[in-house]
Copies of this chain bind each other. A is one copy, B any other.
Amino acid sequence: MGLDRDQIVEHFKTLQDTICSSLERLDQRGRFHEDSWSMETGGGGRTRLIEGQHIEKGGVNFSAVQGPISQRLSQILGKVGEQFFATGVSIVLHPTNPWVPIIHMNVRFFEVDDDTWWFGGGIDLTPHYVNTAEAREFHRALQVVCNRVDVGYYKRFSEDADQYFFLKHREERRGIGGIFFDRLSTGYEGKSKEALFDFVMDVGNSFIPLYSTLFHANYLRAFDAKEKEWQLYRRGRYVEFNLVWDRGTRFGLETGGRTESILMSLPSVASWRYDFTPIGGSLEAQTQSYLKQKVDWLSFTN
């Protein structure tokens, strides 16, 4: 095969570098702090954290690790093998301003021994306040990215995101969704490894344009204590999703991943209020109601 591990690793590292420098420019003040780490079984990562003026807390992680396939991993993969190799870039940004949404992006490549591989990843948005026009534009942009490789991808992957980013115990979506895909391989509609990797890199490269649009439209908007409080409350839901339902987080914590890198997705501060219901008709109530329904954002009209 033309495309090998090393090339994918290099592209992912460059993606991390590009995204980090763009985010530093967006923030204007904050600088990423990097921790390099290595795994006993091989490989390691570059964990990067920014605590800036506009990005309250943001993590941009790169890792490329390998090791023997444990029984637990084999169960999860539904695949027996000797060695795994995994590389990826993973991002969560918690903004200072409640009008700016939380964003998450991940691209990854997984290989079992030398014969089986797949790509995974996605981007999704968690606004503290749902802005319907922004939600529609976000989904439209993702559809454009998907359409370049397959006109069926957006529908499938946005539905997968809807299913995945769901807090079952709240019967509530994490946010307005996005796209989510896994196990993308050549078996999957006969696309070449190169074509699939192009798609994955397109997803990765769409992150900064998508986020900077949302960022610039909102980061200077005034907010008051009530809106900040609501942001902290919504962050509580983000914590619940990641610790209770997110497969990557749970798998990492259960199998001895690097805890501080895994939990970088958690906000600096979050809050819980017993049985809280926003006042009817408020923006908070409106957001809550959007999160309770399945919305087709692509064709949403006010």
Task: Tell me the A residues contacting B by CB distance below 8 Å.
Answer: 35, 49, 51, 57, 59, 168-170, 232, 236, 239-240, 243-244, 250, 253-254, 256, 259-260, 262-264, 266-275
Contact = CB atoms under 8 A, between A and B. Distances in A.
A239 B270 CA distance: 10
Q: Can you tell how many copies of this chain the complex includes?
A: 2
A291 to B, nearest CB: 14
Nearest to A273: B268
A35 B276 CA distance: 13
Given A169-B253, A243-B244, A268 B268 contact: no
A59 B272 CA distance: 13
A271 B274 contact: no
15 contacts: A35-B275, A51-B274, A59-B274, A169-B254, A169-B259, A236-B266, A239-B243, A240-B243, A240-B263, A244-B250, A260-B274, A267-B272, A268-B272, A269-B269, A269-B271
Interface centre among A239, A240, A269, A275 (most CB of B within 10 A): A275
A270 B269 contact: yes
A147 B39 CA distance: 47
A7 to B, nearest CB: 30
